[in-house]
Structure 1
Amino acid sequence: MNTKNPEIKMMQKLLEVGASLSSEKDIDQLLENILQAAMSITNADGGSIYRLTEDQHLKFEILITKSKGAHLGGKSGTPIPFPPIAINKPDGSPEMSRVVCYAVHKDETINIPDAYNATGFDFSGTKLFDEKNNYRSQSFLTVPMQNHESEIIGVMQLINATDADTGKILPFSAAQQEILEALASQAAIALTNRLLINRLEDLFEGFISMINDAIDDKSPYTSGHCMRVPELTVMLADAVNSAKAGPLKDFTMTDGDRHELKIAGLLHDCGKITTPVHIVDKATKLEAIFDRIAVIDLKAQIILRDIAIEVKEGTLDEATALTKKTQLLDDLAYLQKTNIGGEFMSNADIERVSEIAQRYTWKNSAGEQAPFLNADEIKNLTIRAGTLTEEDRQIINHHIEVTITMLEKLPWPKHLKNVPEYAGGHHERMDGKGYPKGLTRDQMSVQARCMAIADVFEALTASDRPYKKGKKLSESLEILGKMKLGAHIDPDLFDVFIWEKVYEKYASKYLPAEQIDEIDVAKIPGYNPPPENYFKA
């Protein structure tokens, strides 16, 4: 092949550019690639790309003038100061005096050898720019960018084709125009596809937000959790990705992998949309639709009333009545404290609840004597830790099965195919005693194991739960360390969590100052010092 032929060289560049356009995901970088390729093919000194907006304006996206060292818009980070150009006049008629507007309305390429000698177009703005910048805009090639649906989405304009040997400014040749028209068409299709993909991704993430908003509407206490867990998961995965030594040194993540993990994190509790709100938000042991401690208070008031009646009728002496009242009020205060569920209940505590249940009876609305505490009240008040009964926990735990069922029904694209596995594994344990599948460490991906740690640590430190206060950082790490020793969480990931101070980065962003205390890592249960070469690798 005769590569000295300039037309063949241009065609080769066009083919190379075409292949790269379809793979670029960043819109600004895509615009850079398009314009740089166009200027390279034609050896143009300057160029710009306009995007046609929905309100019928041509908006500058990128502008380059090589001889002036000007690079605005695109990936430059420098905004373009020029306002968008209206393609229609105020009366609605088409604006045809501006060459870029003409190209849109006529769907034609305009090739002008010298703007200063051109007729039919208004180049006053160009001449003013030249005067201010000591420049001479001469040859123009303006090409409409039409996509696969025959829609014009923008305009590409090149200025001053230059002879590579002499530097002389030349008109754009017919061959250059033909190549540029082909490039503009490829660029428009690539740009449209990328915008469509971005909008679909935005739509998908919008659906995720909608699901989380629905859960939040049921329970405001879960909203922070749904947002913090994915961030902490990615923080830990990034720390593992950066580790150059240790057992996880071969783990790597691309930007695509990070996005997939973030999506999984956002969806990890989507099954809670089916969980009854009075279980999710069960702030006290007796809470259901309302806190039933109020019913016990009412029963106590009825007993107190009956004691007062007995005294008045002379069937009970005042000293005995006072003893009974004092005992009842003391027992009621104990039950009110027990109902909070903030402390672990000992056998003695459980026995006292049973004694209180048997100590009193009350007269119900039917006039019948009934036990002070019924079986369900006793069952809830004797929960050893927290506020949930075993039945409540089963209902809560069912959310992960619903999550997996929901996610496995979706037709995930290849780059998101692991979302169900990552999201569905955050309640599994390394020893196979977790749920819902009883997976062991070897059956889980690193990403799913990262999410398991993030879910636990977020829950320990969270201060927006109705049933507990957020634990201090040291206490949370102590519990997490014990969970490592108990084969609950991944030991290697726990080590990275400590070595890379992921907990510190998370705390500085999300924990109030009163929860952040001094950490002596050597005192954390299960702490394993990093290898000697860990921070040097």
Structure 2
Amino acid sequence: MQELNHTQIAQRLDQLTELSVALGASHDTAELLERILMVAKGMTNADGGTLYRPSEDGRSLCFHISVNDTLGIRQGGAHGDKIDIPAVPLFDAHGDKNLASVAAYSANFRLSVNIEDVYQADVFNFSGMRSFDQQRGYHSQSFLTVPMNDHEGELVGVLQLINAKDPLTGAIRAFSPTDQRFIEALAAQAGVAITNQRLIQQLEELLEALVNLINIGIDEKSPYTGRHCQFVPELTMMLAEAVHNTETGPLADFRMDDADRKELWLAGLLHDCGKITTPVHVVDKGTKLETIFDRVHMVSTRFEVLMRDAEIRALKAKLAGGDAEAIDAALAEELAQLEADRQFIRGANIGGEGMRPEDQERVRQIAKYRFMGHVIQKKEAGGEEPPFRREEQDFLSAEEVDNLTIRFGTLTDGERKEINNHISVTIRMLESLPWPKHLQNVAEYAGGHHERMDGKGYPRGLTKEQMSVPARVMAIADIFEALTARDRPYKKGKLLSESLRILGNFSLNGHIDPDLFDIFIRQKVYLDFARKNVDERQLDHVDESKIPGYTP
């Protein structure tokens, strides 16, 4: 058996070095595995080769790549035809290790197997190989089978080469001990590289699972935010892709690669993660008087008390000899006024987009009614006083008046601050994580979706020039999704045309980026998203020429 000279050994060492560099730089497992097999095949001048991977359950070896120069076979891998070869079992029907197959033997015992001539070997069952040779008119002879293990000795693959050829004559020869040592060194490097790829993939899957875990927590806490957490990332990516494809205008230079897309997608998923700390009665506050329950029912009961008291006064007046007809007329008028006030309070309790000053004043006047209510009293030690006492009091408390006179929506100033604080919490949460280099911008992207181009946003008051394009993209996605959302407890989803009118005005008043808004409309991003995710009853006709801030 002819051994290698110094020049050939040096060439192989160079190949190993180059492969080590390539393995470290590769991010595509399919490409990596194909590279491993082809380098091994070229290094030994083998006619063919196979790379096996363990099955999910670890009970068999699956053909991952199979090549043969003479037969023109190239199956599996990144560029080959579909694999149509059955897997090799690692165990027999009784659960014992399969010792008949050379690949299974190598995998089970983590040993290399070098066979000079398979037709002369009687240790392994090569009946399948002989049948293959007869069908294809091929002659298999020398085999080199080497296991690939990770740093813990776990099997990650098996590398098998067939028919080493003399580089000068082309004659089939045995794989030399030097061939075997080089392929074992290559297999060791390959095992580490495959393990690294697997660990990186597992870490990325873990990260995505943790992100989903946070969103599940938010969703379970408040079902009204689930749609938002799902759709903002989707719309963000749609608009970002439209900007990526834009070749003219101020944003023509914006481009994303796959790493940028993953970073932005994660930021979108996490953009509201701070809401996990926001009290649920604030997040889900559907009416102005809602806390754990809607207190408008308590107020309605107070009206019943006032009506009862009015009826009692009327009865007492009649018993005192008063004019029954006049008393009944006055009572009917008072009851009608109380009922009208009750219905007004019920209406005022529903949040809107602008409560009139005269309606706010009416709430304050109703609050001045007096009624006998229960007041909690402090019980003295050893005393037998009841925990409540009856006392005349204002019909509405100061806190109830504050809530019922909210001009926009259902949140008081304090509650709005609690809601707004979620973005500060989001930033603190995300900035506390040790993000890898390719995800360094997640906190900036996610934390900027409530900033404004004119610097009047929150929490940092950034201007357009201080914000990245992805952060500005997410701001538009966040607003548009909120406008069209139909699952919020405090409002109905707006019509598509109305949502675009509001968004257009935002582009004119310094709220959102007008250049991004132009792409949002011009590339029909709004329409693609709406057709997929917005209730069809909201999809009215849109005349783009009438959208504020947009020129067709």
Tell me if structure 2 keeps the 8 A contact 1:3–1:9: no
Q: Which amino acid aligns with 2:355?
A: M
Tell me if structure 1 keeps the 8 A contact 2:148–2:187: yes
CA separation of 1:290/1:103 partners in 2, compared to 1, >3 Å: closer, same or farther?
Answer: same
Distance 2:252 2:71 in 1: 47
Distance 2:492 2:168 in 1: 75
**Matching residue of 2:337:** 327
**Out of 203, 228, 233, which is 2:236 matched to?**
233
Pairs within 5 Å for 1:343-362:
343-358=353-368, 360-362=369-371
| CA displacement at 1:466 relative to structure 2 | 1.2
| CA displacement at 1:46 relative to structure 2 | 3.2
| CA displacement at 1:256 relative to structure 2 | 0.9
Distance 2:183 2:36 in 1: 10
Q: What stretches of structure 1 of length at least 5 have no aligned partner?
A: 530-537
Tell me if structure 2 keeps the 8 A contact 1:58–1:84: yes
Q: Which amino acid aligns with 1:336?
A: R
- 1:244 counterpart SS class: coil
**Matching residue of 1:16:** 18
**Out of 57, 61, 65, which is 1:58 matched to?**
61
Q: Which has the larger radius of gyration?
A: 2
Distance 1:211 1:20 in 2: 37
Tell me if structure 1 keeps the 8 A contact 2:98–2:105: yes
Tell me if structure 1 keeps the 8 A contact 2:352–2:407: no
Q: Which amino acid aligns with 1:19?
A: V
> Is 1:395 aligned to residue 395 of structure 2?
no
**Matching residue of 1:535:** none
- 2:407 counterpart SS class: coil
| CA displacement at 1:292 relative to structure 2 | 0.7
CA separation of 1:434/1:202 partners in 2, compared to 1, >3 Å: closer, same or farther?
Answer: same
Tell me if structure 2 keeps the 8 A contact 1:47–1:158: yes
- 1:240 counterpart SS class: helix
Q: Which amino acid aligns with 1:357?
A: A
**Matching residue of 2:41:** 39
Superposed CA deviations along residues 38-70 of structure 1, whole A, max 9, x for unmatched, are: 334344443322223553432333333455554
> Is 1:339 aligned to residue 339 of structure 2?
no
**Matching residue of 1:122:** 125
- 2:17 counterpart SS class: helix
Superposed CA deviations along residues 460-514 of structure 1, whole A, max 9, x for unmatched, are: 1112211111222221111111111110111221122122222122223221222
CA separation of 1:408/1:166 partners in 2, compared to 1, >3 Å: closer, same or farther?
Answer: same
Superposed CA deviations along residues 213-258 of structure 1, whole A, max 9, x for unmatched, are: 2222211111221122122222222221221111111122121111
Superposition RMSD in Å: 2.6
- 1:340 counterpart SS class: coil
**Matching residue of 2:408:** 385
Pairs within 5 Å for 1:196-207:
196-207=199-210
- 1:51 counterpart SS class: strand
| CA displacement at 1:101 relative to structure 2 | 1.6
Tell me if structure 2 keeps the 8 A contact 1:114–1:138: yes
Q: How many residues align?
A: 527
Distance 1:100 1:180 in 2: 15
> Is 1:505 aligned to residue 507 of structure 2?
no
CA separation of 1:310/1:401 partners in 2, compared to 1, >3 Å: closer, same or farther?
Answer: same
Superposed CA deviations along residues 497-536 of structure 1, whole A, max 9, x for unmatched, are: 122222122223221222223322221110044xxxxxxx
Pairs within 5 Å for 1:430-509:
430-509=453-532
**Matching residue of 1:144:** 147
Normalising by structure 2, we get a TM-score of 0.88
**Matching residue of 1:157:** 160
Distance 1:170 1:427 in 2: 71
**Matching residue of 1:308:** 311
Distance 1:225 1:219 in 2: 11
**Matching residue of 2:385:** none
CA separation of 1:384/1:118 partners in 2, compared to 1, >3 Å: closer, same or farther?
Answer: same
**Matching residue of 1:112:** 115
> Is 1:103 aligned to residue 106 of structure 2?
yes
Q: Which amino acid aligns with 2:430?
A: L
Distance 2:443 2:347 in 1: 41
- 2:225 counterpart SS class: helix
Pairs within 5 Å for 1:407-422:
407-422=430-445
CA separation of 1:8/1:488 partners in 2, compared to 1, >3 Å: closer, same or farther?
Answer: same
**Out of 202, 213, 221, which is 2:224 matched to?**
221
CA separation of 1:176/1:281 partners in 2, compared to 1, >3 Å: closer, same or farther?
Answer: same
**Out of 504, 516, 533, which is 2:539 matched to?**
516
Identical aligned residues as a percent? 52
Superposed CA deviations along residues 274-331 of structure 1, whole A, max 9, x for unmatched, are: 1100000001111111111111111112122223333443457222222222222222
| CA displacement at 1:398 relative to structure 2 | 0.9
CA separation of 1:67/1:464 partners in 2, compared to 1, >3 Å: closer, same or farther?
Answer: farther
Distance 2:432 2:71 in 1: 56
Tell me if structure 1 keeps the 8 A contact 2:53–2:63: yes
